[in-house]
């Protein structure tokens, strides 16, 4: 069920245009990976669920067909797929090559822009060495700066699971509305 539907920022429109022009390429798939030495999987997934509920963009899909202009559709609830890999038998010296091969394959899978969330989570179990985590997402929903904020929130929620949740953040649609309501002539005059 859609919780909100609104337009795209100029940057999102550009990324969507190029992503559609080059659908066979994976240029807008972003991957963040990290090793988690001692992982409580349930707590890690709960920390992610908290972040996804807090940030609309992590529950967003895009529509561009049969509409005048592309829109983003925020779902009330959308959790990414979690994939678990068993790398317990992989020697530490081989993990880098396993990770490189996985990252390439994962990028090639792509993400369906019309289905939220535009993200995937993967845990590669390493046995006594913990796990390797990979977060794959589409650049349409986050830039690197924003992704680092989300990752910091997830880590904070994971490390302090009983802390009160962070205050709700303003929905992205507020920014989109602000951009649409501003006087373009004033902005052009300022930048001229």
Instruction: Report if residue 185 sits inside a domain.
Output: no
Complete DSSP assignment for 60-91 = EEEE-TTSSS-EEEEES----EEEEEE-TTS-
Indicate which CATH number applies to the domain containing 109. Answer: 3.30.559.10
How far, in whole angstroms, is CA 13 from its chain's centroid? Answer: 17
Other beta carbons less than 10 A from residue 44's beta carbon: 20
User: For the segment 142-182, what is each residue's pLDDT rounded down to a tens digit?
Assistant: 999 999 999 999 999 999 988 887 777 888 898 888 888 88
Pseudo-torsion of CA 157, 158, 159, 163, nearest 10°? 40
The verdict on residue 168 lying in a domain is no
Average pLDDT, the chain: 91
- CA–CA separation, 52 vs 54, rounded Å? 5
Residue-number span of the structural domain to which 37 is assigned: 2-161
Domains: count for the chain: 1
Q: Give dist(CA 156, CA 105) in Å, integer.
A: 30
- Classify strands 60-63 and 71-75 as parallel, antiparallel or unpaired: antiparallel
Q: Give the pLDDT confidence score for residue 181 in this predicted structure.
A: 85
**Could you report the per-residue pLDDT of 52-100, keeping only the tens digit for each?**
999 999 999 999 999 999 999 999 999 988 999 999 999 988 999 999 9
Residue 187 maps to a domain? no
Structural domain contains residue 79:
yes
In a domain, 70, yes or no: yes
């Amino acid at each position: 069920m859609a919780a909100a539907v609104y337009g795209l920022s100029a940057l999102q429109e550009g990324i969507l245009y190029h992503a559609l022009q080059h659908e066979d390429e994976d240029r807008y798939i972003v991957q963040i990976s990290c090793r988690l030495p001692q992982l409580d999987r349930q707590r890690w997934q709960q920390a992610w669920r908290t972040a996804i509920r807090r940030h609309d963009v992590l529950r967003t899909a895009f529509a561009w067909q049969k509409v005048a202009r592309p829109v983003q559709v925020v779902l009330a609830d959308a959790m990414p797929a979690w994939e678990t890999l068993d790398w317990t038998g992989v020697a530490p010296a081989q993990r880098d090559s396993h990770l490189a091969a996985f990252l390439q394959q994962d990028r090639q899978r792509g993400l369906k822009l019309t289905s939220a969330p535009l993200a995937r989570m993967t845990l590669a179990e390493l046995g006594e060495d913990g796990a390797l985590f990979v977060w794959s997402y589409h650049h349409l929903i986050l830039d690197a700066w924003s992704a680092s904020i989300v990752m910091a929130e997830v880590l904070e929620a994971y490390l302090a699971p009983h802390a009160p949740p962070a205050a709700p953040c303003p929905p992205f649609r507020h920014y989109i509305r602000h951009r649409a309501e501003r006087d373009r002539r004033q902005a052009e005059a300022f930048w001229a």
